Amino acid sequence: MIKLSWLYGMVLVFTSHMAWALEAPGRPGLPPHWASGQKMGIGTSYEAYDLDGKYSPLSRTAPISRVWFTLAEGVLTETYFPTVDMAQSQQTELLITDGKTFLEEEKNGTHTIEWLDPKAPIFRITTQDPQNRYTITKVFFTHPEKNIVYIQYQIQPHQANLTFYLCHSPHALNSGLDDSGEIRSQTWLAYEGNSFQALATSPPLSSSTVGFAGISDGLTSLRKNFSLSPPYYDTALKGHIRFVGALPSSDSIIAFTVALGFGFNAKETLDLTEKALQENLEKLKNQYIQEWHSYFTHVLDLSSVSQDEGKEFYASGVLLKTHEDKTYEGAIVASLSIPWGDSTEGNNLSFHLYSLSRGSGGYHLVWPRDLFHTARALMSIHDMETARNCLRFLKKIQYGNQEGTWNFSPRLIPKQGAFPQNTWVDGEPFWQGLQMDEVAFPIILAWHLWQAGEINLEEIWPMVESAATLIAAHGPWTAQERWEENYGISPSTVASEISALVCAADLALAKGEEEAAQFWMNTADHWSLTPGDNIESWTFTTSGLWGNGRYYLRLDGASRLSQLQQPDYFAIWNPNDTKKILLSNSSGIYLEKEIVDGGFLELVRYGVRSATNEFILDSLPELDEKIKVTTPFGPAWYRYLYDGYGEEGRGRLWTHLTAERAQYELALLLKRKANPKVIASTLDSYIQTLENFANEGHLFSEQVWDTGANIGKNTGSATPLIWTHAEYLKLLRSKADLVPFDLIPIVYQRYKDY
């Protein structure tokens, strides 16, 4: 029997791949969390479709690399493999100590980020220690053909006797709860189920340990003692684990490379990762950049109409493509982030966005609403291939006749024809809500692609027919409006429903389905035009609390005073009554006619109402009085009055709403026949505002601060928000054409006088 005093309470195990291995105590470790949601960079290799519009071995960029990385606080944060919705690690960073007086985490330094090429997501981050004890420079990119993330480090110590440690926190399969780790000859191997990751360095680390976070890991030891001393653990099984290893000591410049590789078994992943360090990295970087350049040779270059020499244009184009999965074409997630992932808010949200079978969803899920806007943005830059795949993905996830019924008693709504509220990239539904705008948008996208000659009517007709039938039978009411929180009737939702029915009617005529076409068009006209029973009579108050009392509500018919109260899904739509609404996120209870938002502008965006419609113009003063904030960068808006979704229980300013307002202002100026120079100047101011909202990595956050020293700068919400990047691209296209890009001509022609 082996007797060593420091082995008390620990376990020696024998495995087939190593001799006696020392297993770390303290399972499972402290509760895990994610990294900051405020990303400063997102990257993956560019992959082209094959001739059938698929990611396959026949692609000109094959083999396909299916790994993604994110950057926040100057360091590598969540990585994803083998799909864009499957997070595999939480954070990888350096730890710095003098062995006596301090321990510093790399992420706590001051960081600057550069795109090494404006058209490729290869980044250099320089981290400066606030006390000038060291400078760290890193370059991040992925192998263009293999599942490898590279980090090239160069460390410049500014004082003697500093020791640098590498720290890596796996979070395999969207969770940090059940990972196992082993050290094999200074290569780190982590796994859960059939998901494996390996981290190797060149030169090798001088010592390593793996343990349970907060209990027996190297970071905990360094925090206590400013040193990493024995015992060094070789294994940590089934918990929240963390690796730490020491870099070879030096008082001069330290250059080393990290390869983080992914696979489906231990041997494959170890071999892949260790061999990755032997490749010519300069050659790989050049291939990585050139393949991204090839994407921009096939799209419309709108950089000349930007205000920042195209930086945000190229970044936005890259981001839309980096958020697409490479197994399920057209599945583009909302954001490669977990909002507030490193905070209490993030932990609460992660629980809300958590599946017992598949882990945390974060924002790396597909929302049909976000996907619609993304697909339209891709169309705005002539990337029709990806836009077609977005529509085909939507077609694939549409509910069929075997999916059952939503029971909104006494409303019973069949799922057939609807779309999941959001899904994993393989199409499995995540949240289970019914949002009628998400039923409408696929029809509108189908119409646009058909009009552009990019898709065959026969392919899209079954999807269109099923969705339009559902809207006509059960709209204009929705179980959730576009903010995913309340039922009732909403101007923004009705705008999309009316537009979708008009588009469906046009497609039906082309298909020879005249009866369906007439029914859908009559329904759209009824909701739009019938006096006393249309969108204004349902949602426009004449006895409001603000301004002259005349404005559109956020929504009506959602009266409810408590979560315990039985919802009244058949509430009368009367915008002048005194019914109250319980707002989500513990925001409070208010009169329905008290809550304003900018959703009514969707009526103009798609062409259901003229920009000079009296009801639209009547609503603008109250909208701007109650939820507009003028930041140092320009105007921004809250989602709605009293919104509580954000830091400290308070919603902040949403970046994409600035782009939406710009589209309205364009429509208004065109209607009033303004001078083209005035129009261009107005749009330039909005474009510049959006560009200024982006962070140093040219990423748009979901929200920016509304007060204080950071007003107009990113909060800890989802960054990037692909929806905002999509709106930015569409705004550039609108300026280039001097026509609102989202305006649906057939809808506009029908209702332009209203």
Which residues participate in catalysis according to the annotation? Answer: 481, 484
**Which residue in this structure is represented by tokens 């905002």?**
724
| Helices 457-474 and 436-451, axial angle in degrees (round to 10) | 150
Of 44, 722, 686, whose CA–CA distance to 317 is shortest? 722
Q: 701's torsion region: left (phi>0), alpha (psi -120 to 50) or beta?
A: beta
How many whole angstroms separate alpha carbon 377 and alpha carbon 731?
9
Contacts of 478 (CB under 8 A, 6+ apart): 434, 435, 436, 437, 487, 488, 489, 490, 493
Contacts of 623 (CB under 8 A, 6+ apart): 551, 596, 597, 598, 637
Q: Are 35 and 77 in contact (CB under 8 A)?
A: yes
How many whole angstroms separate alpha carbon 712 and alpha carbon 692?
8
| Helices 676-693 and 655-671, axial angle in degrees (round to 10) | 180
Cβ atoms within 10 Å of 100's Cβ, excluding its own: 9
How many whole angstroms separate alpha carbon 173 and alpha carbon 185?
25
| Helices 457-474 and 491-511, axial angle in degrees (round to 10) | 130
Of 159, 129, 235, whose CA–CA distance to 190 is shortest? 235
Instruction: State the Cα torsion 190-193-196-197 to the nearest 10°.
Output: -40
**Which residue in this structure is represented by tokens 């108050």?**
541
Q: Are 211 and 235 in contact (CB under 8 A)?
A: no
How many whole angstroms separate alpha carbon 27 and alpha carbon 239?
6
Helices (H), 47-142: none
In DSSP terms, 152 is beta-bridged to 139, 257
How many whole angstroms separate alpha carbon 552 and alpha carbon 598?
9
How many whole angstroms separate alpha carbon 690 and alpha carbon 255?
38
In DSSP terms, 719 is beta-bridged to 38
Pairing assessment for the beta strands 179-184 and 187-192 based on DSSP bridges: antiparallel
Q: What angle do CA 222, 228, 229 make, to 5 degrees?
A: 130
How many whole angstroms separate alpha carbon 21 and alpha carbon 191?
17
Q: Are 490 and 475 in contact (CB under 8 A)?
A: no
Q: Which amino acid is at 672?
A: R
End-to-end CA distance of the chain: give it in Å, rounded: 90
**Which residue in this structure is represented by tokens 């001069």?**
252
